[in-house]
C-alpha cells in the first residue's frame, strides 16, 4: 500500500492574505519551518503523525488535515499553487476503475448513476476532509454502479472526472457494454463544476462507496 501524506490547511489564514492583498496566494498552509505559509511550502506529514501533532493556532481555529492528491488537495492546488504540474492536475482528472469493483460479476448490478461530488475541508478533522454528493454545485463528477436490490449493497463509485462530459461518456460506455440503465442526477446548473472549496461543514449521512462519502441533508 502506498504511503499517504497530509498537509495542514486553514481557510481563514488563506483568506486573510488574499483579502488584504488581492491576487496574492493565501498563506493558509502550515510549514514546519515558516509557520503559516504558501501551498507550495506546506510540510507533508506522514499519516501516523495526525494523531500526535497538535493543530497550530489559526485565525478561525479551523486548521485541518488535507490528504495529498485528494480532490480537495487538487482544488487547493488549482487556486494556490504556482507549480503548473499541480495547479492543472484537477483539470486532467479522469480515473476509471469499474473493472476493480465489478470483479467479473456484472450480474450483481442493474444501473449506472452519475453524481456531482464535493470534497470539503473539515476543521480539526484527522480524516482529511468530507466527501459529499452535491448535484447542484459540484466540484467534480463520479460514476456509480448500483447493485441489484437482493445484494443489499447500495452503490459503489467506479470513476471520478473533472468534467460532466467525461462522466457521461464513461457511464454510457458501461451501460452499453452491460445493458444497464443510466440515472443522471446532476442538475443542468451543476454541469459546470465550481472547483473552489467552500468552508461550511454540512451535516452528513454515510453512504456506501469507494469514497468516504457523505450526503448533505
Listing DSSP states for 30-43 in one string gives EETTTEEE-GGGPP
Are residues 158 and 61 part of one domain? Answer: no
Domain, as residue range, for 61: 5-68
Q: 35-79, pLDDT tens digit by residue?
A: 999 999 999 999 999 889 999 999 899 999 999 999 899 999 998
The reply to whether 122 falls in a domain is yes
76 falls within a domain:
no
Total structural domains within the chain: 2
Is the model's pLDDT at 174 over the cut of 60?
Answer: yes
**Whether the model pTM is above 0.75:** yes
Examine residue 198 and state whether it is found in any structural domain, yes or no.
yes
The answer on 64 and 96 residing in a single domain is: no
Lowest-confidence segment of 12-21, 118-127, 185-194 by average pLDDT: 12-21
- Assess whether 210 and 171 both reside in one domain: yes
Do 10 and 113 lie in a common domain?
no
Looking up cell 465550481 gives 194
**So what's the pLDDT on residue 120?**
87
Amino acid at each position: 500500500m502506498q504511503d499517504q501524506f497530509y498537509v495542514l490547511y486553514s481557510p481563514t489564514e488563506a483568506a486573510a492574505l488574499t483579502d488584504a492583498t488581492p491576487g496574492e496566494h493565501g498563506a493558509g498552509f502550515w510549514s514546519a519551518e515558516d509557520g503559516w505559509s504558501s501551498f507550495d511550502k506546506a510540510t507533508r506529514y506522514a499519516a501516523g503523525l495526525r494523531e500526535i501533532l497538535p493543530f497550530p493556532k489559526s485565525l478561525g481555529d479551523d486548521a485541518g488535515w488535507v490528504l495529498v492528491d485528494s480532490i480537495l488537495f487538487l482544488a487547493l492546488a488549482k487556486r494556490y499553487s504556482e507549480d503548473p504540474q499541480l495547479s492543472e492536475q484537477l483539470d486532467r482528472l479522469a480515473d476509471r476503475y469499474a473493472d476493480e469493483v465489478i470483479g467479473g460479476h456484472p450480474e450483481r448490478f442493474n444501473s449506472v448513476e452519475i453524481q456531482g461530488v464535493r470534497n470539503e475541508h473539515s476543521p480539526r478533522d484527522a480524516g482529511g476532509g468530507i466527501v459529499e454528493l452535491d448535484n447542484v454545485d459540484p466540484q467534480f463528477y463520479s460514476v456509480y454502479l448500483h447493485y441489484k436490490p437482493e445484494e443489499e449493497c447500495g452503490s459503489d463509485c467506479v470513476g471520478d472526472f473533472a468534467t460532466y462530459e467525461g462522466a457521461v461518456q464513461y457511464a454510457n460506455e458501461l451501460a452499453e457494454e452491460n445493458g444497464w440503465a443510466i440515472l443522471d442526477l446532476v442538475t443542468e446548473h451543476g454541469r459546470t463544476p465550481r472547483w473552489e472549496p467552500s468552508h461550511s461543514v454540512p451535516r452528513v449521512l454515510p453512504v456506501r462507496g469507494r469514497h468516504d462519502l457523505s450526503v448533505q441533508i
